[in-house]
C-alpha cells in the first residue's frame, strides 16, 4: 500500500498535485484501497472511487486539468478489464439500432427536473458561446444565433434538426427566423417535452432514428448527437444527411471530438453517463464526409465548453437541495465528477468541440460566421 502511494506521489508531483495536501487540486484520500483500484482500473477506478467517497478534491476540474496537461494519465497502464470494451468496439456495432436506445433510456430519459435545474431557459444541453458575456443564458442564445447565421437561415427554409433534445433550438429557429422545422429524437421524455415547448410553432417533433430519415430540407443541423453515432455508423449518418439535403443547402454538425482517432469512449463515461458513446476525430469525420460534402468551415469552440460545464455545475449545486429527495448522495457525486472532470478535460485541450459547416458539391460558398 505504501509503495503504491509513493508511486502516485512521484507521478503527480510534476503537475503540482499532492496526496493529502491542502491545495485546491490536491487529492485527499479517505480510503487507502484507492491506490490499488486506480492502478487496476484507471479512469473507471478513479470515477467509481470518487462516487463512493474514497477520495475528495477541492477543485476536481483543476485536478483533471493538471493531470491531462502533464499527460499523467498516459503513465498508468489500465487493467485487462479495460481491454474488453475495445475488443467489442472492433467487432461489434456498439451503436446499432438496438443499442441506440440505451443512452436515451439511461441518460436522456432521466427526470426532466434534473436537467432543467442547471440548463438555460432554452434547455441547451450543449456547448454555449461565451462571446462577450459570462452569463450562461446569454451565451446559449449566442450559440443558437451563431448556428442560424452559419446556416444562413431564411424564413422560407425547411429545416431538419437531428437529435433535437428538449426542442430549444427548434423553438428558437422557428421563433426568431420563421423557419419550418422537423426535429427528430429517440428519447420519449425529451420528445414529450419538446412537443409541449414548441406548441403553436411550425415545428414537428418526430420519434425517428437518423438511419430512417427521409424528406428534403434546405438546411440540416445536428447538435450534440453525433457523439452517439459511433465509428461504424459515421458514413451511414453522413449518407442520410446527404440524401435529405437539397441542392444548395447547408448542413451544420456540432459535436464533441477527440484529438486522436479512437474506437471507444472513456470507460467511466460509458458505464455511468453515455452508454456506447464515442468521440470522433477530425480524420474520422472527414473520411465519413468524403465524396459527399464540401467542408466550408471548421470552428473549434472547445474552451467555451469548459465554461459551459462550470456554469452547469454551479447551477446544479444550487439546485441540489431541491433534487436530493429524488437522488442519492452517490448520484450527486457521480454528477459532480461528470461535469467537473469534463470541464477539466476541455480546459486541458484533451477534447474539443467542433462546428462543421458542410455543403453538397456545387453549392455557392456560404458566409459561415
Express each pLDDT in 177-207 by its tens digit. Answer: 999 999 999 999 999 999 999 999 999 999 9
Query: Above 50 in pLDDT, residue 72?
Result: yes
pTM of the model as a whole: 0.92
Residue of 28 and 113 predicted with greater confidence: 28
DSSP per residue over 119-180, as a string? S-TT---S----SS---HHHHHHHHHHHHHHHHT--TT-EEEEES-TTSHHHHHHHHHH--E
Query: Above 50 in pLDDT, residue 84?
Result: no
Residue of 221 and 4 predicted with greater confidence: 221
- 367 — pLDDT class (breaks 50, 70, 90): confident
Confidence at residue 110, expressed as pLDDT on a 0 to 100 scale: 65
Query: Above 70 in pLDDT, residue 320?
Result: yes
Rounded average pLDDT over 27-39: 92
Rounded average pLDDT over 257-286: 90
Rounded average pLDDT over 116-134: 97
- Beta-strand pair 217-223/245-258: parallel
Rounded average pLDDT over 321-332: 94
Query: Above 70 in pLDDT, residue 333?
Result: yes
Confidence at residue 75, expressed as pLDDT on a 0 to 100 scale: 63
Rounded average pLDDT over 110-133: 94
| Residues 6 or more apart in contact with residue 106 via CB below 8 angstroms | 275
Which residue among 57, 244, 342, 368 is the active-site one?
Answer: 342
Confidence at residue 123, expressed as pLDDT on a 0 to 100 scale: 97
The radius of gyration of the chain from alpha carbons, rounded to an integer in Å, stands at: 21
Query: Above 60 in pLDDT, residue 99?
Result: no
CA 194 – CA 168 distance, rounded (Å): 7
Clarify whether 342 is annotated catalytic: yes
| Residues 6 or more apart in contact with residue 45 via CB below 8 angstroms | 37, 38, 39
- The distance between the two most distant Cα atoms of the chain, rounded to a whole number of Å, is 69
The 10 Å Cβ neighbour count of residue 184 is 21
Q: Which three cell numbers stand for residue 31?
A: 480510503
For residue 52, which phi and psi values (nearest 5 degrees)? -90, 5
Express each pLDDT in 148-178 by its tens digit. Answer: 999 999 999 999 999 999 999 999 999 999 9
Query: Above 80 in pLDDT, residue 94?
Result: no
Query: Above 60 in pLDDT, residue 78?
Result: no
CA 54 – CA 310 distance, rounded (Å): 23
Q: What is the percentage of the chain residues whose pLDDT exceeds 90?
A: 75
Confidence at residue 82, expressed as pLDDT on a 0 to 100 scale: 38
Burial of 60 (0-12, 13-18, 19+ CB in 10 A): buried
CA 319 – CA 42 distance, rounded (Å): 31
For residue 123, which phi and psi values (nearest 5 degrees)? 55, 50
- 248 — pLDDT class (breaks 50, 70, 90): very high
Rounded average pLDDT over 65-78: 76
Amino acid at each position: 500500500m505504501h509503495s503504491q502511494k509513493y508511486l502516485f506521489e512521484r507521478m503527480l508531483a510534476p503537475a503540482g498535485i499532492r496526496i493529502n495536501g491542502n491545495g485546491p487540486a490536491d487529492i485527499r484520500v479517505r480510503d487507502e484501497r484507492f491506490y490499488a483500484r486506480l492502478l487496476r482500473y484507471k479512469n473507471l477506478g478513479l470515477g467509481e472511487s470518487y462516487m463512493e467517497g474514497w477520495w475528495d478534491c477541492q477543485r476536481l476540474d483543476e485536478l483533471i486539468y493538471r493531470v491531462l496537461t502533464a499527460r499523467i494519465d498516459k503513465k498508468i497502464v489500465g487493467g485487462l478489464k479495460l481491454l474488453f470494451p475495445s475488443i467489442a468496439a472492433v467487432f461489434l456495432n456498439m451503436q446499432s439500432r438496438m443499442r441506440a436506445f440505451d443512452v436515451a433510456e439511461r441518460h436522456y430519459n432521466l427526470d426532466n427536473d434534473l436537467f432543467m435545474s442547471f440548463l438555460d431557459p432554452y434547455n441547451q444541453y450543449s456547448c454555449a458561446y461565451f462571446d462577450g458575456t459570462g452569463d450562461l443564458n446569454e451565451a446559449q442564445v449566442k450559440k443558437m444565433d451563431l448556428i442560424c447565421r452559419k446556416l444562413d437561415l431564411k424564413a422560407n427554409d425547411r429545416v431538419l434538426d437531428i437529435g433535437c433534445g428538449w426542442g430549444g433550438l427548434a423553438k428558437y429557429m422557428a421563433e426568431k427566423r420563421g423557419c419550418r422545422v422537423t426535429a427528430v429524437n429517440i428519447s420519449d421524455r425529451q420528445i414529450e417535452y419538446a412537443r409541449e415547448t414548441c406548441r403553436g410553432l411550425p415545428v414537428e417533433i418526430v420519434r425517428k432514428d437518423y438511419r430512417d430519415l427521409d424528406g428534403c430540407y434546405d438546411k440540416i443541423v445536428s447538435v450534440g448527437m453525433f457523439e452517439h453515432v459511433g465509428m461504424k455508423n459515421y458514413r451511414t449518418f453522413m449518407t442520410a444527411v446527404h440524401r435529405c439535403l437539397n441542392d444548395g443547402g447547408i448542413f451544420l454538425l456540432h459535436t464533441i471530438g477527440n484529438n486522436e482517432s479512437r474506437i471507444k469512449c472513456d470507460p467511466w463515461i460509458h458505464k455511468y453517463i453515455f452508454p456506447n458513446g464515442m468521440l470522433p476525430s477530425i480524420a474520422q469525420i472527414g473520411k465519413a464526409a468524403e465524396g459527399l460534402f464540401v467542408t466550408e468551415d471548421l470552428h473549434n469552440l472547445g474552451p467555451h465548453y469548459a465554461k459551459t460545464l462550470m456554469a452547469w455545475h454551479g447551477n446544479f449545486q444550487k439546485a441540489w437541495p431541491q433534487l436530493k429527495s429524488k437522488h442519492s448522495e452517490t448520484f450527486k457525486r457521480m454528477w459532480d465528477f461528470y461535469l467537473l472532470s469534463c470541464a477539466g478535460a476541455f480546459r486541458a485541450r484533451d477534447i474539443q468541440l467542433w462546428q462543421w459547416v458542410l455543403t453538397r458539391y456545387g453549392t455557392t460558398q456560404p458566409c459561415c460566421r
